[in-house]
Chains A and B, each alone.
Chain A
Amino acid sequence: MSQPNPLVAGISRRLNGPQTLGNSAFFWCAWLLGLALLVALPLLVSRYQVINASNILISCILAMSLCLIWGYGGILSLGQASFYCIGGYAFGVVGINLIDAQGNTDLALLAGIAIPVVFATVLGGMMFYSRLKGVYIAILMLVVSLLLGLFMRQTADPSYTIGSAFLGGMNGLRPATSADPSIPNMILGFGDYVIAFDGRRSEFYWLVLGLTTAIYLGLRWLVNSSFGYVLIACREDLDRTETFGYDVRLVQLAVFCLSAAIAGFSGALYTAWGTYIHPDGFGVAPNILVVIWVAVGGRRDLTSVIVSTMLLSWISLELTSSGEISLLALGVILVLAMLLAPEGIIATAGAWIGRTVRRRGGMPARSRESVT
């Protein structure tokens, strides 16, 4: 490369490192090209496909939240979709109640992040401070998600009303009376200065694309920071890391809450996108689906997880018209991936591309990054 610009070098040092695949100039060129394609997508495809693409990007955010806690933190949660749904319900309930008074959904979006975090703090506090590990956490999270789903299904009774919002059981969240507002779109800003993002329009797609990119870059910075090293150490050997003087329970709780915040955020976006949320999201299939996205791509790399979530969600959409085939197909892909590339199909392919490019270009393997 030419003379290093200090700003570029500083950003590069923070975003690149051994915890992520794809740290080369070649990778970032391809990444920018991909991003440019995604930005231009609404000009290239039909409006219906843009609506679907928005939903796929929301799924990518959810997948990154599981990638963080499972791939980097070593904590498999089979209940990641529950944070997504809690965030979705929180956005809806607060949105219905405040949209007329406030004219925006700022607080609803905040609730979509904060309430999953409060829930994760209580649940994670109990799990990590009682030193629960591995498969017990995975199962406990799935059970909690199923229980929440059971509860939400039986809220068809009119007594389950929060202000102007009626939980609505199997039919999903609704306004309590016909006079109350329905679930709002994403409306951000203050007072008269608000921008509305209708989930069926390209503006919403670009908003979600920007947020996905920001979360991706933020997480890359986090996992390559010195905290990221502690996180990896906890994943590799929890007891050993504790004997270095780290309160590993606190590390696990912190990353669990961050993961819940990101998942809840994606759930809030989902509710705003479709202006509906219902209890099916707490079920087994949505929870397993997130695991499949992450595992097939490569749970230890953020980029791989995003690529695989895009591809698998697209395959799901294409197969939706064929009924239950969709989930079956993903199951087959998961089994094949685990047999052929246990570290993930995209991650394995990405590592191969990286080696090939380095060999062709005669570039030396990266030496030690200074970790800051």
Chain B
Amino acid sequence: MKANPLTLAEGDELPVLHLEPGLGQVIRYCALQWAFPAFFYDIEAAKAQGMPGTLVPGPYKVGLLYRAVDEWLGEAGWIRQVRAAHRRPDLTGRPIDIAGRVARVYEEGGTKRADLELAVINERGEPSVRGFAVVEFNG
């Protein structure tokens, strides 16, 4: 379901975005950043650091939160802020869900805005990221 600023209410849930970030996506992200810590793409390097596998980069996950909000928001507005608080690592090739709900609907600066609570949930049902976003609806 897409965001509808006319009917939006606190407690509304965003559609869950199911993802499985793979090694290819992570390598593209490293290339975009031009940063290549080996534990993001080399399983032996990851194991040498005590990790069970290659990791989804933490900074990448703020963009995945952004995507979940963007797909829900569509043309109804734009994203003013998205924030990720990292709780535990996610491994590449493992499913994650991005869930969210509307925490507050309000007006500021003459525009309608909403605060969103977000989370990345791993396959064990644990939150790996707690997130937050602010969206502004088009007039």
A and B: real partners?
no
Instruction: Please report B residues at the A interface, Cβ cutoff 8 Å.
Output: none
Residues of A at under 8 Å CB distance from B?
none
